[in-house]
């Protein structure tokens, strides 16, 4: 089992070359490339402004060339991509269309890097204060959205991974379940989309931190997903905020995660989405922070693969 880490919190802070070197030196084999996520800011999206970065082929090519050259230099694989998000803006069809265009471009770039997976968030209303969709409407919206991506996914030989989400009442700050947090619903999504595609073009990225916010046991979620689980976002939190911190600094029962992973026959990478941990440190300490992330990733990997009973 290879270990992987998101680029956010590292390459965007200390630079692409220095960041990829730090990732290599920490023992990581691959990256979850999220370098496209910040190029259509949420504020711009809310105002329905055009996405200048994704419309500029020269800028896109320069960014991807820099990452591909650094990855080759340090022997790092592109294990998975993370597309820009959110995929849907309530009551803002123009913003939704612009964002979904950036997602389609991300699939193309993912394929160009030889990366097998791209994580694309489902469409949902992140605020529960004034919801805009019924559950049936949300489900149909997602089937239509993901189905529209099938020709591109096939063309670039990429598998699209849905992810379990959470929503919040912005006034009370109370957290609620959201799209794909119910694993029964998730399995239905993936099976229906693969049937529409006529082949396996959809899988699932299980976000461990999002499970914690909703009180969902990781072992049970992994068991229910079965072989639909193909990528991971591994991180910890305090059960209240989506902190994206180092495993063992939050409330996750990592023995339950290990138990589920051992039984699952999971074939993908053990990928960290731990940008929040890096943000605790000044820029000069980022390489050392990444080393600690690497040490815990190796520990979890070894616990999973040793196949010994608890």
- Phi, psi for residue 18 in degrees, rounded to 5: -65, -35
- Sequence-separated (6 or more) residues with CB below 8 Å from residue 169: 127, 128, 129, 176
Cis preceding linkage at 86, omega within 30: yes
Query: Kind and range of the H or E element at 297?
Result: helix 286-305
The alpha-carbon radius of gyration of the chain (Å, integer) is: 18
Which pLDDT band holds residue 308 (cuts at 50, 70, 90)?
low
Instruction: Determine the Cα–Cα distance for residues 9 and 274; give it in Å rounded to an integer.
Output: 8
pTM: 0.96
User: Mean pLDDT across the stretch 6-20?
Assistant: 98
User: Mean pLDDT across the stretch 124-129?
Assistant: 93
Q: What is the number of domains present in the chain? A: 1
Which pLDDT band holds residue 44 (cuts at 50, 70, 90)?
confident
- Phi, psi for residue 4 in degrees, rounded to 5: -140, 160
Interstrand relation of 166-168 and 175-177 (parallel, antiparallel or unpaired): antiparallel
Give the helix ranges, DSSP H, for 37-113: 42-46, 52-55, 57-74, 93-112
pLDDT at 51: 87
Q: Shortest CA distance to 275 belongs to which of 233, 213, 240?
A: 233
Q: What is the chain's mean pLDDT, rounded?
A: 96
Chain mean position to CA 33: 9
Q: Shortest CA distance to 125 belongs to which of 76, 166, 90, 84?
A: 90
Interstrand relation of 159-163 and 202-207 (parallel, antiparallel or unpaired): parallel
Chain mean position to CA 38: 14
Q: Is residue 310 part of a domain?
A: no
User: Mean pLDDT across the stretch 119-142?
Assistant: 95
Query: Kind and range of the H or E element at 24?
Result: helix 16-25
Q: Is residue 27 part of a domain?
A: yes
Q: In which domain, by residue range, is 210 found?
A: 3-305
pLDDT at 10: 98
| Angle at alpha carbon of residue 235, lines to 300 and 7, rounded to 5° | 100
DSSP state of 122: P
Q: Is residue 284 part of a domain?
A: yes
pLDDT tens-digit readout, 25-40: 999 999 999 999 988 8
pLDDT tens-digit readout, 255-290: 999 999 999 999 899 999 999 999 999 999 999 999
Q: Is residue 106 part of a domain?
A: yes
Sign of the C-alpha dihedral, residues 274, 280, 284, 290? negative
Q: Is residue 252 part of a domain?
A: yes
Contact predicate 200/242, CB 8 Å: no
User: Mean pLDDT across the stretch 214-233?
Assistant: 98
DSSP state of 307: -
pLDDT at 295: 98
Interstrand relation of 229-233 and 202-207 (parallel, antiparallel or unpaired): parallel
Query: Which CATH number characterizes residue 78's domain?
Result: 3.20.20.150
Which pLDDT band holds residue 18 (cuts at 50, 70, 90)?
very high
Is the per-residue pLDDT at 301 higher than 60? yes
Q: Tokens in use for 180?
A: 């794909």
Q: Tokens in use for 202?
A: 């959809």
pLDDT at 106: 97
Is the per-residue pLDDT at 307 higher than 80? no
Q: Is residue 109 part of a domain?
A: yes
User: Mean pLDDT across the stretch 216-231?
Assistant: 98
Q: Shortest CA distance to 204 belongs to which of 234, 228, 185?
A: 228
Q: Tokens in use for 78?
A: 């592109």
User: Mean pLDDT across the stretch 59-73?
Assistant: 97
Q: What percent of the chain has pLDDT over 70?
A: 99
β-bridge mates for residue 160, sequence order: 118, 202
Q: Is residue 146 part of a domain?
A: yes
Q: Is residue 10 part of a domain?
A: yes
């Amino acid at each position: 089992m290879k270990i992987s880490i998101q680029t956010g919190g590292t390459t965007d802070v200390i630079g692409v070359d220095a960041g990829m070197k730090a990732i290599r030196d920490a023992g990581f084999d691959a990256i979850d490339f999220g370098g496209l996520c910040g190029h259509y800011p949420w504020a711009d999206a809310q105002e329905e402004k055009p996405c200048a970065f994704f419309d500029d082929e020269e800028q896109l090519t320069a960014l991807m060339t820099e990452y591909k050259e650094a990855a080759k230099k340090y022997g790092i694989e592109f294990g998975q991509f993370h597309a820009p998000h959110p995929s849907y803006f309530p009551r803002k069809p123009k913003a939704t269309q612009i964002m979904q265009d950036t997602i389609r471009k991300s699939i193309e770039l993912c394929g160009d890097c030889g990366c097998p997976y791209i994580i694309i968030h489902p469409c949902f209303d992140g605020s529960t204060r004034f919801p805009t969709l019924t559950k049936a409407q949300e489900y149909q919206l997602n089937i239509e959205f993901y189905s529209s991506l099938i020709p591109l996914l096939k063309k670039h030989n990429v598998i699209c991974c849905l992810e379990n989400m959470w929503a919040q009442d912005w006034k009370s700050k109370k957290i609620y379940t959201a799209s794909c947090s119910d694993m029964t619903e998730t399995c239905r999504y993936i099976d229906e989309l693969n049937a529409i595609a006529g082949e396996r073009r959809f899988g699932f990225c299980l976000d461990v931190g999002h499970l914690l916010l909703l009180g969902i046991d990781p072992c049970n979620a992994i068991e229910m997903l079965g072989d639909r689980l193909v990528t991971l976002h591994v991180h910890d939190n305090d059960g209240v905020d989506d902190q994206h911190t180092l495993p063992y600094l939050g409330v996750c029962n990592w023995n339950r995660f290990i138990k589920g992973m051992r039984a699952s026959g999971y074939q993908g990478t053990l990928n960290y989405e731990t940008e929040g941990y890096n943000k605790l440190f000044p820029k000069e300490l980022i390489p050392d922070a990444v080393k600690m992330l690497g040490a815990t990733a190796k520990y979890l990997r070894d616990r999973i693969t040793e196949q010994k009973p608890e």
